Amino acid sequence: MKIGILSRNAKLYSTRRLIEACQERDHQVEVIDALRCYMNINSDKPSIHAKGQDLSGFDAIIPRIGASVTFYGCAVLRQFEMMGVFPVNESVAITRSRDKLRSLQLLSRKGVGMPITGFASKPDDIDDLLEMIGGAPVVIKLLEGTQGIGVVLAETRKAAESVIEAFLGLRANIMVQEYIKEAGGADIRCFVIGDKVIAAMKRQGAEGEFRSNLHRGGSASLVRITPEERRTAVLAAKVMGLRVAGVDLLRSQRGPLVMEVNSSPGLEGIEQATGKDIAGMIIQYIESTAKPQRTRTSGKG
């Protein structure tokens, strides 16, 4: 098979491992920088070019699209879909999961457990907003934030009001969520491929840090998940429409709560914590699933 990896840097751990997995299974692989691509959009024969070369003939595309290039990256991926190339994750699903507010609304509609979440646009809504969530402490998140950036824990009502007023004063889009104290600064990353959780790790925040992101100094370890956590992770990925996803769960007194569904989950932490060949499993999934014109949305949306 000829497999393309949409990634801006071939030296990144996840991209490098996917290249190795393709080569080990005798597939032709090429890394494509989405921002260097340009497209011919027509009804007869849509095409994509980069550096003067026609990027046709691919059997499958693995999107590793960074949050900062979601719009253009998904446009390029959509063009591949229109050309009949099988995407591991479709452009519509990636766009859906990157919109934190929309993704939580979709999860809520399907009854997936999640922290109580508030959203407002005006400072005079703050009092009632905090009441709806259950009062302080609360977690305040920038909708556009990634890797724990733009996430603040406000331990008192006064602190929450000050932080929310500051963010809204800067015209930032924010969510306000209940703080799950019993999680103890830890979460669980479930790696979903198809309809199975193939690996899971516990991420523990550094001492004094409530964010568990590995980029913020957190540590990762192997964890055994419950059947309910497994079902929740698979359902969350399915609701987003993602075939490959990293689903972040919090363990709470009322069961597993979904924090986020990641469409481009990193491989380094999960492979090192579990010892599993996650990259190889992704390629195996492509081998068993990829067929021309297997895109559910066919580039629509």
Binding site, annotated residues:
141, 178-179, 187, 211-213, 248, 260, 262
Read off the amino acid at residue 37. Answer: C
- What are the counts of helices (DSSP H) followed by strands (DSSP E) for the chain? 9, 16
Q: Which amino acid is at 170?
A: L
In the annotated binding site for Mn(2+), the residues are 248, 260, 262
Binding residues for Mg(2+) are 248, 260, 262
CA torsion 268-247-63-141 (nearest 10°) is -100
Q: Which residues are annotated as a binding site for ATP?
A: 141, 178-179, 187, 211-213
List the 117-119 sheet strands across, edge first: 117-119, 174-178, 138-142, 151-154
Helix (H) or strand (E) holding 232: helix 227-240
User: Phi/psi at 165 (nearest 5 deg)?
Assistant: -60, -40
Rounded Cα–Cα distance for residues 94 and 65 (Å): 9
Residue 43, C-beta contacts closer than 8 angstroms, at least 6 positions apart: none
The closest of 155, 200, 205, 214 to 185, measured between CA atoms, is: 205
3-class DSSP state of 299: coil
Q: How far is residue 223's CA from residue 24's CA, in Å, rounded to a whole number?
A: 28
